[in-house]
Amino acid sequence: MKPKTFRNSLFPFLLSIMIIPLLAADTKTQNVVVCMGKNAKVYHASSNCSGLRNCRGGVKTVTLKEAQDMGRRACKICY
């Protein structure tokens, strides 16, 4: 069995410290598209989604967190 060295034990730890914040930041800043109509309930990956065809209230780009805070769920067509 190979003895654990400082380098072997520290590398995975340092790697995880560097990668985890990048993954978390990515979800916080992901932009989605929402219809601002009074009956709208979903968010979309793109403004080209066919689910937005009937939008009467205008289309707005927001962060994923903002859309979720508005009570929106993911569109079944584009997600």
The rounded mean pLDDT for the chain is: 84
Residue 10 pLDDT grade (very low, low, confident, very high; cuts 50, 70, 90): confident
What is the reported pLDDT for 31?
Answer: 95
Strand ranges in the chain using DSSP code E only, listed in sequence order? 31-35, 42-44, 59-63, 73-74
Query: Domain boundaries in the chain?
Result: 30-79
Q: What is the pLDDT of residues 34-72, one digit of tens each?
A: 999 999 999 999 999 999 999 999 999 999 999 999 999
